[in-house]
A and B are shown apart, each in its own frame.
Chain A
Amino acid sequence: SQQGEEDPQALSIQEGENATMNCSYKTSINNLQWYRQNSGRGLVHLILIRSNEREKHSGRLRVTLDTSKKSSSLLITASRAADTASYFCATAGQTGANNLFFGTGTRLTVIP
């Protein structure tokens, strides 16, 4: 399957702590993306990392990619209650089809 798989399925932390979510995938990719979804709403794109990149930052977000292990991690630093949401990784294949393959997500709860 080309779908990413997030780990853990659910994560609960105190406000101010860091949250780390992991994603594993099985096929070669062109890029990997992370999305956020508030309950019952659409997904919002957070960050894209290309297969030739190892680390990327955006505000309080830090994404790493290890193509040898076919895995990625999303770190949210100094979490806030407003970060409570589901987080999904999505992989884009190398060529030929503009499809993204999503995992089942990690449900993050940040306790005020």
Chain B
Amino acid sequence: ETGVTQTPRHLVMGMTNKKSLKCEQHLGHNAMYWYKQSAKKPLELMFVYNFKEQTENNSVPSRFSPECPNSSHLFLHLHTLQPEDSALYLCASSQERQGLSYEQYFGPGTRLTVT
């Protein structure tokens, strides 16, 4: 266990559904991240939150909507997804110091399939 949990672990949704992914970190970290991992592609950073403020949005389509209500919880709200959005969605957290990146702790991921 890395101290980062994600639910659900698997999700199948239709293109017209609305669903949410949840991430919780128990490490007292001040930064949280959403990544998308597709087959044979590098891990894609989607969103970054520092101290609950979004500091990065990597040109992600608006059908993905993040929410960070506090420094321990991160959500990814999904609506009207496309089949190409099927992937493993990973949440991570880290303790950022002086704006520099150190080790990140990942959750087990949510395997999303869009039908």
Contact = CB atoms under 8 A, between A and B. Distances in A.
Interface of A: 3, 30-31, 33, 35, 40-45, 48, 88, 92-104
B55 A100 contact: no
14 contacts: A31-B101, A40-B88, A41-B108, A42-B108, A43-B43, A45-B105, A88-B43, A94-B100, A97-B101, A98-B48, A98-B55, A98-B100, A99-B56, A104-B41
A45 B104 CA distance: 7
Contacts, number: 72
B107 A42 contact: yes
Contacts of B84: none
B103 A43 contact: no
Interface in B69-115: 88, 90, 92, 94, 96, 99-109, 111
Nearest to B31: A98
B68 interface: no
B42 A100 contact: no
Contacts of A45: 103-105
